[in-house]
Copies of this chain bind each other. A is one copy, B any other.
Amino acid sequence: MFKADYLIEYINKAVNSISYPAQPRGLYEPIEYTLSGGGKRLRPLLTLATCSALGGDIGAAKNQAIGVEIFHNFTLLHDDVMDKADIRRGRPTVHIKWNESTAILSGDAMLTLATQYMSRCDAAKTWEVMTLFNRTAMEVYEGQQYDMDFENRDDVSVEEYLKMIRLKTSVLLGCACELGAIMAGALDSERKAFYDFGIKLGMAFQLQDDYLDTYGDPTVFGKKIGGDILNDKKTWLLISAMTEDNSGELKQLIGNNAIAPNEKIARVKAVYNTLNLGERCHELIDLYASEALTTLNRARIPDDAMDFFTTLIDATRTRVQ
C-alpha cells in the first residue's frame, strides 16, 4: 500500500473518472482540461497515505483526496489569471486557451466541485471535514493576498514571508493530511500530529521551490533559472538579501530593467553568494524537513508507513524540479 507510484496511479484514475455533465461545454471543458494537466498530485497522495498509515482504507478518503486536488488546481487556475501567466505544466493556461471570463467561472465551479467531493462522506463526518476545509481555503486566500501585497512593499521581513508561505502553501498540505486522518477515524492527537507534519513539509517544499528557481540545474529544472530574480519576486532569498546587503549593489538591481537579464541574474546571485544565502536556505529547508520527521513520531504508525513518509520528506528536501 505504501508505494507512491501505486497511490498516484490510484489518484489519477480517480481524477480521470470524474464525470462531467455534457452541457454547457464552455463550463466543464476547462475544468477537465485543468485536471488532466497532471502535476505532482502531492496533496491527494498525502490524504491517502495518512488515511492508510492510521489504519483506514484508502477508499474511505478517496473523495476528500479528489476534493483537495480539485481545490489546489482551482487556486492555480485563478492565480494564473491574477498573475497573467500564459503557461502551466507546459500547456496554455485556461484564460489564454479560452478567455478570462471562462477562467473565472470555471474556477468558481471547481471550488464548488471540490466542496462537493469534500462533503461526500459519512454524514457524521461532514461537519468536521467542512470546518477544516473551509478554514484552510480562507487561509490560502489570505496567503495569496499577502503575496500580492508584498509586490508593492520593500520592507517585508523574513517572518512575514514565512507566515505568507505557511498560509499560501503549507496549510493545504496540513489539511490534506488531516483529512486522511479524519477519514481513518483517528484520534485528535494523531490528527494534530499529521496536520503539523503537513505544515512542516509544506514549508520545506515551498522553500525548495524558491531555492531551485535560483540554484536549480537548468538541464533538469524544467523552467528557466532566474525567473524570480528577473521579476524581483519577494522570496526568502531576496528578502534575506534586502535585509542584510549593505553594499548598495542590490538596491541598484531591484526594479532595474535597464540591465540585461543574464547580467541581472548573475549580479543578484553574486549578492546571494556573498551572504551565503544558498547554503543558508538549504539549512532552513533541512530544519523544516527534520521537524516534519519529529512530528511524525508523535503518531504511532507502522514501519512501512514511516518509511514512506521519511522517503517523501527526503524527496522534498532534495528534489531538483
Contact = CB atoms under 8 A, between A and B. Distances in A.
A134 B116 contact: yes
Query: What DSSP secondary structure best describes chain A's contact surface?
Result: helix
Contacts of A146: 24
B149 A137 contact: no
A138 interface: yes
A317 interface: no
A148 B26 contact: yes
A271 to B, nearest CB: 29
Contacts of A144: 105
Contacts of A104: 78, 81-82, 104
B108 A78 contact: yes
A142 interface: yes
Interface size class of A (residues with CB under 8 A): 35 or more
A145 B105 contact: yes
A130 B119 CA distance: 7
A112 interface: yes
A108 B26 CA distance: 20
A256 interface: no
Given A111-B112, A119-B127, A123-B126, A26 B145 contact: yes
A124 B122 CA distance: 11
A109 interface: yes
Contacts of A111: 108, 111-112
Contact of A145 (B27, B135, B138, B148): B27
Nearest to A123: B127
Interface in A104-121: 104-105, 107-109, 111-113, 115-116, 119
Contacts of A21: 142
A142 B112 contact: no
A82 B123 CA distance: 36
A127 B112 CA distance: 15
26 contacts: A23-B142, A24-B142, A24-B145, A24-B149, A26-B148, A27-B141, A78-B104, A78-B108, A81-B101, A82-B104, A105-B141, A105-B144, A107-B108, A109-B138, A111-B112, A112-B137, A112-B141, A115-B130, A115-B134, A116-B138, A119-B131, A119-B134, A123-B126, A126-B127, A126-B130, A130-B130
Interface of A: 21, 23-24, 26-27, 78, 81-82, 100-101, 104-105, 107-109, 111-113, 115-116, 119, 123-124, 126-127, 130-131, 134-135, 137-138, 141-142, 144-146, 148-149
Given A108-B108, A119-B127, A123-B123, 9 more contacts: A24-B146, A26-B148, A81-B101, A108-B141, A111-B112, A112-B138, A112-B141, A115-B130, A119-B130
